[in-house]
Amino acid sequence: MSVDLTLKIGGEAGQGMQTIGYVLSKAFARGGFHLFANQDYMSRIRGGHNFFQIRVKGEPVYALSEEVDILIALDEATVEIHRPELKEKGVIIFDGEHIDISGQPPHLLSVPLERLAREEGGNKLFSNSVAVGAALGVLDYKFDILAGVLKETFGKRGEEIVQNNVKAARAGYDFTRENYKDSQFSPLESGQGNKKMLISGNEALSLGAMAAGCKFIAAYPMTPSTGIITYLAGKAREFGLVAEQAEDEIAAINMAIGASFAGVRAMVATSGGGFSLMVEALGLVGMTETPLVIIEAQRPGPSTGLPTRTAQADLEFVLYASQGEFPRAIFAPATAEDAFWSVVKAFNLAEKYQVPVIIMSDQHLADSYRTCHKFDLTKVKIERGIISDAELTKIKDYRRHRFTPSGVSPRALPSQKGRIVITDSDEHDEDGHLTEDLEMGKKMVQKRLKKIEALATEIEPPQVYPHKNAQIILIGWGSTYGALREAVDILIDQGVDVSLMHFQEIWPFPTQFVTSVLSKAKQSFCIENNATGQLARIIRAETGKQVTGKILKFDGRPFSSQYIITELKKKKG
């Protein structure tokens, strides 16, 4: 029987849902399962309602499900809010000594979480581990795997803490095995694990930057991008990079520009509000042709918006940001694995073409965990596009912004002996000196825009799944990939002739490819986490093709396949 289980842990901020969720996720991944997990949290430190949900499958899983098998309720609100999502055979795990819930077994499993935590661990703080044990008890999952994960997770805090957590988990596990006699779940047999990684979007983006040799990141904390500088700052000493928390986003991007100009791979990470502050410097990148990678992790706006929720409403902003015209590349990774490789490629393109490359993430991608194969680091190729000292000595009169057939000028670094490097935010001549010669200005605009031609050939066209010749094409970009792919699988099973065209690299726009796919389709639908259909508009602008319809969601939560299918059925007629 194929495994497809969803566990949800709900409670107030500060109750440790994330730790429970992460430990459970890791335990499933270790047992050889695929999983997708995400968190839904409010912008507060204590109280409110937060949850963490995990979907476990035997085969790769790309998205969440709306139906829940096991609900771990750390407070009464969780039961009220999420009970309707419970499957028929589902169960709610809760502490009946502290929460009063009406209902009938086998759907309710009261576990004395706090009491067992005190008895076994010596402190009610261990009740989360009791809950994890209880959940895995329901599934009759191998306890040793959980013990191993707890040991790793709490190892840094000392052996006593580890032992107390293990004892508490064991108590929850045993309690369930003894008391939950009418389980509707078949035992979850673990297999060979260990080959897969469990990784979040932010971790993958950070690791991608490190693999690409990024040596400098500057950022001002802003949800949901903060995880990136946090991760990199934690590795700075060991891996020889500098992670600086700047005084504001303006400083962050200008620092990164300075670092890049002086020769290191540099990056910034922010969300829409911070990117707004960076826009002037984005133009500086374009004008001075200084390579830069920018990660923009979207959340609902405008203004402060909903800090901890997800959205895809910054695409047009990022595409058109800054005065003037200059080339840029925009990526929108679909999964954590994709995120890793997109950063590696972003650094190469940024340096090869001396342009800004913007990676569009969002809260859903940033905070979700997914299992994937370990990244093959031997496939990481680094193309710097900096001319060597030897090459430089051959150039008699070095000019930073020299006209070339491709528009890409030889890039030397300040400090290379005998040569100086000059650049300017003003329009400049080939040397980099400020100019008001209008003919020169025009040629410089053309030179910079010329780079688009070659840059465009590097862009990967959207992924079409499973084939190009379907009657109905669903179109998406970035983090919606999983829900869309799953929706397509389900629809095909139901006999619908449908495929997915999914953009992971959006700009320069792959016009020819998209035109050809859309020309063949009878109907096309853009599915986006925004209120107006931004990609749909870009497609219209670039190909002249109008999509048949749009499925838009802008409530701060990600799509599920169920949602897409229901909405599509209403629209396609």
| C-alpha 488: how far from chain center | 21
Provide, rounded to whole angstroms, the least separation between the CB of residue 291 and other proteins: 12
Q: Does residue 81 interact with other proteins by CB under 8 A?
A: no
- Of 84 and 240, nearer to other proteins (C-beta) is 240
254 lines the binding site for other proteins (CB under 8 A)? yes
Q: For the segment 133-162, give every residue that binds other proteins (CB under 8 A).
A: none
207 near other proteins, rule: CB under 8 A = yes
Can residue 264 be called a binding residue for other proteins (CB under 8 A)?
yes
Is the CB of 40 or the CB of 249 nearer to other proteins?
Answer: 249
Q: Which is nearer to other proteins, 340 or 477 (CB)?
A: 340
Nearer to other proteins, 48 or 263 (CB): 263
Contact positions with other proteins (CB under 8 A) in 227-246: 235-237, 239-242, 244, 246
Nearest to other proteins of 352, 485 (CB atom)? 352
Residue 449: its H or E element: helix 438-457
Q: Which of 33, 52, 62, 261 binds other proteins (CB under 8 A)?
A: 261
Of 260-268, 513-521, 534-542, 561-569, the segment contacting other proteins by CB under 8 A is: 260-268
324 binds other proteins, rule: CB under 8 A? no
- Edge-to-edge strand list for the sheet holding 265-270: 242-245, 214-219, 265-270, 292-298, 356-362, 329-331, 505-507
Helix axes 226-239, 201-211, angle to 10 degrees: 40
- Euclidean distance between CA atoms 250 and 254, whole angstroms: 6
350 is a site residue for other proteins (CB under 8 A): no
Bridge partner residues of 521 (DSSP): none
Interface residue with other proteins, options 298, 423, 480, 534 (CB under 8 A) = 423
Q: Which residues contact residue 118 at a Cβ distance below 8 angstroms, ignoring those fewer than 6 apart?
A: 124
Q: Is 216 in the site for other proteins (CB under 8 A)?
A: yes
> At what angle are helices 143-154 and 159-179 packed, to 10 degrees?
150
Binding residue for other proteins, selected from 170, 196, 364, 447, defined by CB under 8 A: 196
**Are the C-beta atoms of residues 90 and 69 closer than 8 Å to each other?**
yes
Q: Which is nearer to other proteins, 254 or 312 (CB)?
A: 254
Q: Is 392 in the site for other proteins (CB under 8 A)?
A: no
State which of positions 17-46 bind other proteins (CB under 8 A): 29
Helix, strand or coil for residue 474? strand
- CB of 472 closer than 8 Å to CB of 521: yes
A 10 A CB-CB count for 166 gives: 22
> Which of positions 400-419 make contact with other proteins (CB under 8 A)?
413-419
Question: Can residue 440 be called a binding residue for other proteins (CB under 8 A)?
Answer: no
Query: Are 337 and 388 contacting, i.e. CB atoms less than 8 angstroms apart?
Result: no
Residue indicated by tokens 């006209």: 403
Token pair of 433, please? Answer: 């000196």
Q: Does 541 interact with other proteins (rule: CB under 8 A)?
A: no
Smaller CB distance to other proteins: residue 94 or 347? Answer: 347
Binding to other proteins in span 276-305, by CB under 8 A = 280-281, 284, 288
Number of residues that bind other proteins (CB under 8 A): 70
Q: Which residues contact 375 (CB under 8 A, 6 or more apart)?
A: 197, 207, 211, 337, 340, 341
Q: What is the 3-state secondary structure (H, E, C) of 8-47?
A: EEEEEECCCHHHHHHHHHHHHHHCCCEEEEEEECCCCCCE
Work out whether 448 is an interface residue with other proteins (CB under 8 A). no
CA atoms lying within 13 Å on the CB side of residue 344 = 19
Q: Which is nearer to other proteins, 173 or 340 (CB)?
A: 340
Q: Which of 44, 89, 157, 195 binds other proteins (CB under 8 A)?
A: 195
Q: Does 1 participate in binding other proteins (rule CB under 8 A)?
A: no
Using the rule CB under 8 A, which residue among 17, 228, 421, 506 binds other proteins?
Answer: 421
User: d(Cα 526, Cα 324) in Å, to the nearest integer?
Assistant: 29
Query: Residue 394 interacts with other proteins (CB under 8 A)?
Result: no
Tokens 């949290």 -> residue: 41
Per CB under 8 A, residues contacting other proteins are 29, 194-199, 203, 207, 210-213, 215-216, 218, 235-237, 239-242, 244, 246-248, 250-264, 266, 280-281, 284, 288, 374-375, 377-378, 380, 382, 413-426, 432-434
